[in-house]
């Protein structure tokens, strides 16, 4: 193969088809002449057959560029100890994909699982997340949710007409990020010390005699599990979820008691509720209509279900179902019962070291006295008889 001291004019004049010319100035640089193209190669031997590395076609790749590329490849061989042909034949390794961002949607099952073991109303939290938070935040990386995101979401919900519900959503969001921060999934808490949007005042609504009679008549006109559950809430003053979920295994018809296990009470403490005359009669009536193999007194009943919602017009918008519990407490106070006994009827948490750890008296007799007195009073109200005077019941001797 001829060797030529190449320059631009000489390269342009090489025309013998099929001939390869080597540059005498740059070792290994060769130009192969084809019928229509001229192609630059770098040719070298590294212990075996010659390697021909294509550098590009002339004139797109000029002489100076070809010489620079050939010198660079020679440097790799002689100085760096790299075989350029081997390097070119290696399949390039694709860079590792960036780790998938941990999104808010990814964290929701973690949070709900955390709540299950600590809060009986965890399903309410799950539903609130699905209703208000999942769509706007689901795809956002958890670490990138900022205080601005929280404010925008709460402003949106408030604009939909919610008031106190916005505060509940804010508390839930704060709880979500508290758990995330504890698990080192975020660097800062975006809802910490955030001011509530709406002031809250304790409820004061108590049903008067006329409202109690109207409610009872309305429930008579809508017979069923939901109506009976509302009656039982009014008779016993217990929480709605606990009453709706009443199980036959908790009821002793002979002893006339309802024994709530810790797993079903808000404060995770057992609670025994005596069943006075009207309450006991209601539960016995349920026993006659509920199949023997059904574990619940009010099968399939939930406070969010259609049957329960259908009773909402009975309130006329003047009060809420949770006001029944306050009505029972207020009426018991009017009958002369102390706050301690009323608190035990309602199964409020025991505050203070003595109440929490030392005083384990269950107040069953006192609760029975209170609910029996309320049973009698409610019968008077429903009959339309005039009220005489408040009755202070003495605690029975032990």
Average pLDDT over residues 264-270: 85
Which of 270, 282, 203, 271 has the alpha carbon at shortest distance from 235? Answer: 282
Average pLDDT over residues 132-148: 95
**69 in the same domain as 216:** no
- The reported pLDDT for the residue numbered 361 is 54
Instruction: Decide which of 89, 115, 142 is a domain's last residue.
Output: 89
| pLDDT at position 389 over 50 | yes
- The reported pLDDT for the residue numbered 348 is 86
Distance (Å, whole) CA 99 – CA 110: 19
Question: For residue 255, what are the domain limits?
Answer: 209-383
**214 in the same domain as 129:** no
Distance (Å, whole) CA 84 – CA 16: 29
**69 in the same domain as 138:** no
pTM above 0.75, yes or no: no
**How many structural domains compose the chain?**
3
Does residue 142 lie within any of the structural domains?
yes
Does residue 126 lie within any of the structural domains?
yes
Does residue 34 lie within any of the structural domains?
yes
When the pLDDT of each residue in the chain is averaged and rounded to a whole number, the result is: 88
- The reported pLDDT for the residue numbered 134 is 94
Query: Is 132:157 a contact under the CB 8 Å cutoff?
Result: yes
- The reported pLDDT for the residue numbered 257 is 94
**365 in the same domain as 292:** yes
Checking phi first, is residue 135 left (phi over 0); if not, alpha (psi -120 to 50) or beta? alpha
**243 in the same domain as 345:** yes
Which band of pLDDT confidence, cut at 50, 70 and 90, is reported for residue 120?
Answer: confident
Which of 46, 65, 45 has the alpha carbon at shortest distance from 57? Answer: 65
Average pLDDT over residues 82-104: 77
- The reported pLDDT for the residue numbered 316 is 86
Report pLDDT digits (tens) over 212-248. 999 999 999 999 999 999 999 999 999 999 999 999 9
Does residue 398 lie within any of the structural domains?
no
Q: What would the two tokens of residue 370 be?
A: 């209170």
Does residue 396 lie within any of the structural domains?
no
Does residue 202 lie within any of the structural domains?
no
Beta strands 20-23 and 29-33, pairing class: antiparallel
**290 in the same domain as 261:** yes
CATH of the domain at 58: 3.30.160.390
**113 in the same domain as 65:** no
Of 74-88, 101-115, 272-286, 297-311, the poorest mean pLDDT is in 74-88
- The reported pLDDT for the residue numbered 237 is 94
| pLDDT at position 275 over 90 | yes
**85 in the same domain as 108:** no
- The reported pLDDT for the residue numbered 394 is 46
**298 in the same domain as 150:** no
- The reported pLDDT for the residue numbered 341 is 93
- The reported pLDDT for the residue numbered 53 is 87
Does residue 193 lie within any of the structural domains?
no
CATH of the domain at 338: 1.10.443.10
- The reported pLDDT for the residue numbered 356 is 47
| pLDDT at position 88 over 80 | no
Distance (Å, whole) CA 167 – CA 171: 6
CB-based burial of residue 185 (10 Å sphere; 0-12 exposed, 13-18 middle, 19+ buried)? middle
Does residue 199 lie within any of the structural domains?
no
**349 in the same domain as 265:** yes
Instruction: Decide which of 37, 56, 89 is a domain's last residue.
Output: 89
**80 in the same domain as 120:** no
| pLDDT at position 358 over 70 | no
Instruction: Decide which of 89, 119, 142 is a domain's last residue.
Output: 89
**343 in the same domain as 229:** yes
């Amino acid at each position: 193969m001829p060797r030529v001291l190449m320059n631009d004019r000489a390269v342009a004049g090489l025309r013998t088809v099929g001939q390869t010319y080597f540059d005498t100035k740059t070792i290994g640089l060769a130009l192969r002449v084809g019928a229509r193209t001229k192609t630059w190669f770098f040719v070298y031997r590294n212990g075996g057959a010659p390697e021909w590395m294509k550098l590009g076609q002339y004139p797109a790749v000029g002489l100076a560029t070809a010489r620079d590329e050939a010198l660079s490849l020679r440097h790799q061989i002689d100085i760096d100890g790299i075989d350029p042909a081997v390097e070119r034949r290696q399949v390039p390794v694709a860079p590792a994909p960036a780790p998938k961002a941990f999104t808010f949607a990814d964290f929701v099952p973690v949070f709900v699982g955390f709540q299950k073991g600590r809060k009986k109303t965890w399903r309410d939290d799950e539903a609130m997340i699905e209703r208000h938070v999942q769509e706007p935040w689901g795809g956002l990386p958890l670490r990138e949710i900022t205080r601005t995101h929280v404010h925008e979401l709460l402003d949106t919900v408030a604009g939909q007409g919610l008031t106190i519900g916005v505060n509940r959503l804010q508390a839930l969001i704060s709880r979500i990020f508290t758990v995330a921060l504890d698990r080192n999934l975020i660097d800062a808490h975006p809802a910490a010390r955030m001011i509530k949007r709406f002031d809250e005042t304790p409820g004061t609504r108590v049903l008067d005699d006329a409202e109690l009679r109207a409610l009872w008549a309305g429930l008579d006109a809508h017979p069923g599990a939901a109506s009976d559950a509302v009656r039982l809430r009014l008779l016993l003053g217990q929480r709605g979820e606990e009453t709706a979920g009443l199980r036959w295994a908790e009821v002793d018809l002979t002893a006339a008691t309802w024994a709530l296990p810790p797993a079903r009470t808000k404060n995770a403490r057992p609670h025994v509720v005596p069943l006075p005359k009207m309450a006991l009669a209601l539960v016995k009536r349920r026993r006659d209509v509920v199949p023997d193999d059904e574990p619940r007194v009010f099968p399939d009943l939930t406070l969010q279900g259609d049957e329960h919602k259908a009773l909402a017009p009975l309130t006329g918008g003047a009060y809420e179902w949770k006001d029944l519990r306050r009505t029972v407490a207020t009426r018991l106070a009017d009958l002369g019962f102390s706050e301690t006994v009323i608190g035990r009827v309602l199964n409020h948490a025991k505050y203070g070291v003595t109440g929490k750890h030392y005083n384990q008296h269950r107040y069953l007799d006192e609760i029975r006295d209170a609910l029996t007195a309320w049973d009698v009073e409610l019968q008077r109200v429903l009959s339309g008889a005039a009220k005489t005077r408040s009755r202070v019941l003495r605690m029975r001797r032990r």
